[in-house]
Amino acid sequence: MIGRRTVNLTVCPFAMCLGRFKMFSKQQPKLQSYSKRTYSRFKYINPTLLNGRFIKEKKIIQNFDFFLILDFEATCEKNGTLNPQEIIEFPCLKMNSKTLEIESHFHQYVMPELNPVLTPFCVELTGILQEMLVGQPNFVTCMELFEEWMAKENLLHSKFALVTCGDWDLKVMFPAQCKLSGIAVPSYMKQWINIKKTYGEATGRYGHSLMAMLKSFNLSHVGRLHSGIGLRLVHVCWNVNS
């Protein structure tokens, strides 16, 4: 248990959307294709993929050793007027690109500094209670802990790609939080895989929402929708890669 929510790290079908990788960067407004030099073999093929057409077992070329799946939660208000927003939950799953196994995870609640008291709407939406933030570090310390975890997992010397559902986490929220906290955005956080776009490449349909993508793979939703550590993203990644 983390706080009052169960951490489910055993289900990992989100990574299969990552058969063809394209990265988005603030410095590169257009998607950039990356060369595929190594491969991994996936035996699980969802027969409903690509409008019901059966796909035979195939090799998928991978350019990365690991996927780091992120899903921030932030302070919010029902009418959307809360400004600035601050990150209150920082979760990350380390997925092996060849085995699609979750090898490790980082999870940290973060105490917001400008608006330390959560709104009733934020509590209801995220399931994060005020007492779960008591005694938690600020964002600067959280980033130090995250980089310590990355170093422990030898990620800084490997090929990895950050994965998000949409661009908000790393295009909007993370840079804004770094600016608010007076720290620079790390270079490795300036490009990422938006699983909605990769899903579109793999299926020919735009991924309007996480729930819609899960439904297209006949997958049931697991966990709380706005719960960072739940990372339902894993289900979609795993299926798109197949």
| b (16+ CB within 10 A) / e for 16-47 | bbbbbbebbeeeeeeeeebeeeeeeebeeebe
Residues belonging to the chain? 242
Query: Who's near 56: CB < 8 A, 6+ residues apart?
Result: 45
DSSP H or E segment with residue 73: strand 73-74
Catalytic residue among 77, 147, 153, 226: 226
Residue pair 75/82 in contact (Cβ under 8 Å)? The answer is yes
Catalytic residue flag (residue 147): no
Active-site residue, selected from the candidate residues 73, 86, 105, 235: 73
- 226 an active-site residue? yes
Torsion of CA 189, 35, 27, 29, to 10 degrees: -110
Residue type, 94: K
Under 8 Å CB-to-CB from 83, ≥6 apart: which residues? none
Catalytic site positions: 73, 226
